[in-house]
C-alpha cells in the first residue's frame, strides 16, 4: 500500500497527471482572466488554489459538471514549484492523499472554492484590476495592529474537553520557592474565570495575553471574544489575533456581523424575558440610569420590535420607542436620545446567528475615539447575546478527569470602563457560565473597581492576580488573604491567588 502512495506521489507522476475543477469554475475563471488580463487558464487556477489554501477550514468537495483538464506541470510548474504546491496542499489537509484520485479531488475542491472567492473579490473591486490586487494583497497580510481581514477560524462540532493548565506569565515563578505557578483553568470544582489587576503600565495586558496564548495552544478549539479599548491586544507583543485566528473588528469601520437580538425560540415567554433583559442592559448604559417610566416604555418597545421584526435591530427598537412616545403624547427624552445616539453608526449587522458568531474568534476594538455610550453598549449587547446563547446549550462536556470543554473565552481589558454599568449579561455569564464552558477574564486597574458590582465578581474567580497599584489595603487583604499587601511588589511581580489556595503567592510574572 505504502509503495503505491510513494509511487503516485512522485513529482514526475503528479506533473503528468490531469487536474480539473468544474465547468462553473471555468466560467468564473474566464471572468477573472478577462478582467485581470491573464493569457492562460493556469494562472487564475493557481491564484484560486492559493486563495483557498489561505483559509484554515477544508474546502467542500467540488460538485457539478467537470471542467477543462490542465496538466499538473502546467497548473503547478515543475521541480521546486511543484514540490511547494504539493507540500502546501498536504500541510493544509494535515494528511497525505491516499490515491491519485484523492489528490485530484483535493486540488479540485481548493480550485473551485478559491475561484468563487476570487470572483467575489473581483466583483467587489468593481472589476478594477489594481483595486483587486490591492484587496488581495491586504487579505494575505499577516494580521497585526490594524484591521485584520483574515478569515475567521470556524469550528464544525463542539469544542473538545482537555485539561488547560496555565503558567502565570513568561517567568511565572513564586518569589519564595522559585517554583512555577500554574492555574488549572477548567479543572473539576474550580472556576474558569479570572481577573488581572494593576496600575497603569504594570504589565496586566501582557501577562493576560501570555496566559491566553497558552490557552489557545492547549485548547485550540476555544473561540475568543475580546474587547480591546487600547488597540494593543493584536499588536506584536500580545498577538491574540494570531493566537486565536481572530478577526479584529471596529464598529467605527464596519458593523459587527451578529444578529445581536436573536431569540432562542419564538415563544411568548422568550420574547418577554429577552425584552426584560435587554431593557436592563440598555437602561444602565448612561450614568443617569433610566427612570421607571422610561424603562417601561423601553420594555414595550423591545417587546414590539422583537415580536415584529426578524431579524430585529437597534433601529427597529428605536423606531418602536419613538412610536410609543408619540402614541402616549409625551415628549421624547433621554431614553429616545440614547437609542438615537446608538443608531448613528450601524453597530451590528444581522449576518451571523449567535451560534455561528460565537464559534469564531473576534477582537472588538473600541479605542478612545469610539463614544463612551457606544463602547459600553457594544460590550453590554455582546455579553448579553453570548450569555443568552451559552445558556441555551447543554452543559459542556467533560473529559474522563472532569476537565470541562471551553466553549468561549470572553476577555474585557480595561474592564473598569464598564464595571460601573452593571451589565446583567456579564454578571450572568460569570455566575452561570461555568458549567456551560464559558470563561470570563476581566482586566482592570484595582480591586476597588469591582466594589460597585451587585454580585461579588471576585468571589467567582478561579484566579485573581494583582500587580502593584494603589488600592484600599483592607480590600487587598479581603481578596488575597490576611497579611497580603501590594506594597512589597517589585516591577513584574504580582500577587496571585488561585481559588482554593489558602493564601496568595508573590509571583514574578515578567522581568
Ligand X SMILES: Nc1ncnc2c1ncn2[C@@H]1O[C@H](COP(=O)(O)OP(=O)(O)OP(=O)(O)O)[C@@H](O)[C@H]1O
Binding site for ligand X (CB under 6 A): 170, 198, 200-206, 230, 510
Contact residues for Mg ion (CB under 5 A)?
A: 205
Q: Is the peptide bond before 311 cis (omega within 30 degrees of 0)?
A: yes
Binding partner of residue 361 among Mg ion, ligand X, none, CB cut-off 5 to 8 Å per kind: none
| Nearest residue (CB) to ligand X, 44 versus 198 | 198
Q: Are 245 and 356 in contact (CB under 8 A)?
A: no
Angle between helices 100-124 and 79-93 (to 10 degrees): 90
| Nearest residue (CB) to Mg ion, 207 versus 281 | 207
Binding partner of residue 59 among Mg ion, ligand X, none, CB cut-off 5 to 8 Å per kind: none
CB neighbour list of residue 79: distance below 8 Å, 6 or more residues apart:
11
The secondary element (H helix, E strand) that includes residue 174 is strand 173-174
CA 206 to CA 210: how far, in whole Å?
6
Q: Residue 230 Cβ, how far from Mg ion at the closest point, in Å?
A: 6
Residue 262 exposure: Cα atoms within 13 Å on the Cβ side: 24
H, E, C per residue of 447-501: HHHHCCCCCCHHHHCCEEEEECCCCCHHHHHHHHCCCCCCCCCCCCEEEEEECCC
How remote is the C-alpha of 269 from its chain's centroid?
30
Binding partner of residue 510 among Mg ion, ligand X, none, CB cut-off 5 to 8 Å per kind: ligand X
Q: Are 234 and 248 in contact (CB under 8 A)?
A: yes
| Nearest residue (CB) to Mg ion, 229 versus 261 | 229
In the 8-state DSSP scheme, what is residue 381?
A: H
CB neighbour list of residue 37: distance below 8 Å, 6 or more residues apart:
129
Q: Are 392 and 264 in contact (CB under 8 A)?
A: yes
| Nearest residue (CB) to ligand X, 263 versus 505 | 505
Q: Are 272 and 252 in contact (CB under 8 A)?
A: no
Q: Residue 183 Cβ, how far from ligand X at the closest point, in Å?
A: 17
Binding partner of residue 206 among Mg ion, ligand X, none, CB cut-off 5 to 8 Å per kind: ligand X
Binding partner of residue 16 among Mg ion, ligand X, none, CB cut-off 5 to 8 Å per kind: none
Q: Residue 9 Cβ, how far from ligand X at the closest point, in Å?
A: 44
Q: Residue 199 Cβ, how far from ligand X at the closest point, in Å?
A: 7
CA 424 to CA 365: how far, in whole Å?
22
Binding partner of residue 193 among ligand X, Mg ion, none, CB cut-off 5 to 8 Å per kind: none
Q: Residue 238 Cβ, how far from ligand X at the closest point, in Å?
A: 8
Return the residue nearest Mg ion (CB atom). Answer: 205
| Nearest residue (CB) to ligand X, 368 versus 459 | 368
Query: Torsion-angle region of residue 415: left (phi > 0), alpha (psi -120 to 50) or beta?
Result: alpha
Binding partner of residue 318 among Mg ion, ligand X, none, CB cut-off 5 to 8 Å per kind: none
Q: Residue 300 Cβ, how far from ligand X at the closest point, in Å?
A: 41
Q: Residue 230 Cβ, how far from ligand X at the closest point, in Å?
A: 6
Binding partner of residue 137 among Mg ion, ligand X, none, CB cut-off 5 to 8 Å per kind: none
| Nearest residue (CB) to ligand X, 115 versus 410 | 410
| Nearest residue (CB) to Mg ion, 212 versus 385 | 212
Q: Residue 492 Cβ, how far from ligand X at the closest point, in Å?
A: 7
| Nearest residue (CB) to ligand X, 29 versus 464 | 464
| Nearest residue (CB) to ligand X, 278 versus 464 | 464
Q: Residue 226 Cβ, how far from ligand X at the closest point, in Å?
A: 13
What are the DSSP E strand ranges found in 185-316?
194-197, 224-228, 247-249, 256-258
Q: Do the bridges between strand 182-184 and strand 165-167 make them parallel or antiparallel, or are there none, so unpaired?
A: antiparallel
Binding partner of residue 433 among Mg ion, ligand X, none, CB cut-off 5 to 8 Å per kind: none
Amino acid at each position: 500500500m505504502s509503495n503505491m502512495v510513494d509511487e503516485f506521489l512522485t513529482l514526475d507522476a503528479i506533473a503528468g497527471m490531469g487536474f480539473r475543477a468544474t465547468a462553473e469554475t471555468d466560467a468564473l475563471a474566464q471572468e477573472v482572466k478577462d478582467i485581470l488580463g491573464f493569457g492562460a487558464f493556469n494562472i487564475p487556477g493557481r491564484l484560486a488554489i492559493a486563495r483557498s489554501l489561505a483559509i484554515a477550514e477544508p474546502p467542500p468537495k467540488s460538485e457539478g459538471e467537470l471542467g477543462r483538464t490542465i496538466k499538473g506541470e502546467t497548473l503547478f510548474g515543475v521541480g521546486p514549484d511543484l514540490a511547494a504546491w504539493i507540500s502546501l496542499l498536504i500541510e493544509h489537509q494535515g494528511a497525505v492523499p491516499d490515491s491519485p484520485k484523492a489528490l485530484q479531488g483535493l486540488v479540485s475542491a481548493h480550485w473551485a472554492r478559491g475561484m468563487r472567492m476570487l470572483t467575489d473579490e473581483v466583483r467587489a473591486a468593481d472589476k478594477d484590476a489594481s483595486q483587486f490586487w490591492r484587496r488581495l494583497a491586504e487579505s494575505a497580510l499577516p494580521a497585526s495592529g490594524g484591521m485584520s481581514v483574515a478569515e475567521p477560524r470556524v469550528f464544525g462540532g463542539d469544542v473538545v474537553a482537555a485539561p488547560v493548565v496555565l503558567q502565570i506569565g513568561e517567568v511565572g515563578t513564586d518569589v519564595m520557592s522559585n517554583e512555577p505557578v500554574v492555574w488549572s483553568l477548567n479543572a473539576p470544582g474550580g472556576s474558569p474565570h479570572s481577573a488581572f489587576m494593576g496600575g497603569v503600565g504594570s504589565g496586566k495586558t501582557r501577562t493576560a495575553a501570555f496566559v491566553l496564548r497558552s490557552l489557545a495552544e492547549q485548547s485550540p478549539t476555544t473561540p475568543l471574544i475580546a474587547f480591546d479599548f487600547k488597540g494593543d491586544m493584536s499588536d506584536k507583543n500580545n498577538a491574540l489575533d494570531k493566537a486565536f485566528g481572530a478577526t479584529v473588528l471596529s464598529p467605527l469601520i464596519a458593523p459587527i456581523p451578529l444578529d445581536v437580538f436573536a431569540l432562542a425560540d419564538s415563544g411568548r415567554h422568550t420574547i418577554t424575558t429577552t425584552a426584560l433583559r435587554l431593557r436592563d442592559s440598555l437602561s444602565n448604559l448612561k450614568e443617569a440610569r433610566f427612570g421607571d417610566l422610561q424603562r417601561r416604555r423601553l420594555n414595550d418597545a423591545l417587546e414590539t420590535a422583537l415580536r415584529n421584526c426578524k431579524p430585529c435591530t437597534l433601529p427597529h427598537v428605536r423606531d418602536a420607542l419613538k412610536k410609543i412616545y408619540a402614541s402616549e403624547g409625551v415628549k421624547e427624552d433621554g431614553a429616545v436620545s440614547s437609542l438615537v445616539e446608538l443608531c448613528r453608526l450601524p453597530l451590528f449587522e444581522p449576518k451571523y446567528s449567535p451560534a455561528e458568531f460565537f464559534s469564531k474568534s473576534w477582537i472588538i476594538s473600541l479605542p478612545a475615539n469610539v463614544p463612551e455610550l457606544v463602547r459600553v453598549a457594544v460590550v453590554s449587547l455582546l455579553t448579553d447575546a453570548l450569555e443568552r446563547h451559552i445558556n441555551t446549550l447543554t452543559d459542556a462536556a467533560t473529559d474522563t478527569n472532569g476537565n470541562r470543554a471551553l466553549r468561549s473565552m470572553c476577555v474585557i481589558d480595561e474592564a473598569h470602563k464598564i464595571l460601573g454599568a452593571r451589565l446583567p449579561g456579564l454578571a450572568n455569564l460569570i455566575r452561570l457560565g461555568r458549567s456551560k464552558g464559558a470563561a470570563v477574564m476581566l482586566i482592570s486597574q484595582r480591586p476597588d473597581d469591582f466594589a460597585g458590582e451587585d454580585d461579588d465578581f471576585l468571589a467567582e474567580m478561579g484566579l485573581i492576580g494583582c500587580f502593584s497599584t494603589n488600592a484600599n489595603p483592607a480590600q487587598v487583604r479581603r481578596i488575597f488573604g490576611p497579611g497580603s499587601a501590594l506594597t512589597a511588589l517589585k516591577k513584574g511581580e504580582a500577587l496571585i491567588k488561585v481559588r482554593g489556595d489558602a493564601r496568595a503567592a508573590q509571583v514574578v510574572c515578567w522581568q
